Chains A and B, each alone.
Chain A
Amino acid sequence: MSDRKEVVIRGVGSSHYGRFPDRRVESLAWEAILEAMQDAGAEAGEIEAVFVGSVFGPPGVATRTLRGIGIGGVPVITIEAACASGTAAYHEACEAVALGRYSCVLVFGIEHLSSLFTRGAIVPEATDSEGRAGLPLPGLYALQAQRYMAQFGTRPEAFAEVAVKNKGNGAHNPRAQLKGSAPTLDEVMSAKMIAEPLTFLQCCPVSDGSAAAVVGRPKGRRGEVRVLASAMASGQLWDHRSKEFWGEGPVRRAAQAAYAQSGIKPSEVDVLEVHDSFTIGEILTLEALDLCKVGEGASLAPSGHTQRGGQQPVNPSGGLLSRGHPLGATGTAQIAEIVWQLRGMAGAHQVPNAKLGLVETMGGGAAGMEGNASVVSLLALR
């Protein structure tokens, strides 16, 4: 590994998150990219490649975005890995810099769901056997929650506590879709049921948005964040032989690789942004990240451990539950958030003394597989 080059995040930026049906999708990306370029002190001419994460495009969105800012003639690669598309693009950019292929790469995630899904939840994919059978994504996560409750005797309130924590955090995040909304446990529990035991307030909103990062070799500029590790793991078969929950495997393998790369132990991480598209998702993720044993994840929010003032704050931004989930943009939004936290620039939802940050995203939705991919990255101020 010694011939690998040091990689830093030079700058980050993001749009606001929400439903913006009247906005051009490119305009959200421009907002994110301009902020990231300015933050990095990078000129358009420095960008040697562009890695883009997007699930629903539209096709050509990367090039149409670049047209507006005059970046062209360099490799432009769009990556789709479901909800992990943004972090998958970031991961490939980090690898390209580490291996010496490029010294400065623009990464952005972009999604405009309000122009696709006008009647609430994402319409399941009819080419997928489970989507065709009528299993919505909240249903897939609800099945994990049901299995979890049966296995560990967990009460539904434990899931709701994750929503109370994350939405409480997001109330202070000016870019979050649900800013200003901090429901009580009773309100989360009594919200409309979506798929038992998950209520409406335990499901992330369908969102538009974009976030960007300039990744490259260090320039010695203030605020550069070092990429201590970045690992991606794709899903394997998930079937009658599987002992793990759906989605657990890729997160666990990516996390193990990231911890091994950096020599960092899970208990050393100060702040985390993880994939909480549904409340049970955060619990399963924290177990797969080895923050606790399997079966103990549900106690981390109620015990205070993952609260903003706790030992290891998780999703201080409000997570997907509050920020919203513009699929391809989510991973880059998480990266931006951790960079701000490490710099002490997160404002009203700043976590004290955040030195070591972790980003995790998990994308899934293909029947019979554990997931599409998970990315785990460890970051620290340089």
Chain B
Amino acid sequence: MSEPSAPPISKRRSGQVMGGAFVSDPRCVVKGDKVIGVRCAHCRYPTSPPAPWCPACQHREQVEAEFGPGGTVWASTLVQIPVGRWAPPYAMAYIDLDDGPRVIAHLEAPAILAVGTRVNIVGGDDGDLIVRLA
């Protein structure tokens, strides 16, 4: 990964990809074709990455859970500007994982998928969630 020529002087924490300082990874954890998270023991609300208590009902007890690999496209777009390590064109989508949370994902192919399209998690790329047509 090549560093940008001049590191941005920014109050914003842009992360190492943009030439800034190390930032602890806030993304959901991808393991194989699953997203790792927790599910509320009371209301079943799915969360990834884990939160200190259930964000939906504040119940303290949550159990470890895996979500995916299947999911549905809420919407997708093709981004045509460079962002971080991503060079255009690249496609991103909100995916509602089956019985799981809504997550942001990269589409394996740089094309827009129709709302409602079925997709599968194919894994992670440098921590980013990647999905493809089911």
Contacts and interface: CB of A to CB of B under 8 A. Distances in A.
A311 B46 CA distance: 46
Contacts of B127: 132
B81 A126 contact: no
Contacts of A4: none
A124 B83 CA distance: 8
Contacts of A116: 8-12
A143 B93 CA distance: 7
A22 to B, nearest CB: 16
B42 to A, nearest CB: 16
Given A122-B12, A129-B26, A129-B49, 6 more contacts: A59-B11, A125-B14, A133-B27, A136-B83, A147-B74, A240-B96
Main secondary structure of the interface of B (DSSP, over half): loop
B18 interface: yes
Nearest to B85: A134
B28 A129 contact: yes
Contacts of B128: 133-134
Interface in A107-147: 115-130, 132-136, 138-139, 142-147
Contacts of A58: 11
Chain A, interface SS category: loop
A136 B114 contact: no
A1 interface: no
Interface in B13-43: 13-15, 17-18, 20, 23-28
A128 B77 contact: no
A196 interface: yes
Given A56-B12, A123-B12, A143-B75, A132 B112 contact: no
26 contacts: A56-B11, A116-B8, A116-B10, A116-B12, A120-B81, A124-B84, A126-B14, A128-B26, A132-B15, A132-B23, A133-B129, A134-B86, A134-B90, A135-B92, A139-B77, A139-B92, A143-B74, A143-B93, A193-B80, A194-B81, A196-B78, A196-B80, A237-B55, A239-B102, A240-B96, A242-B102
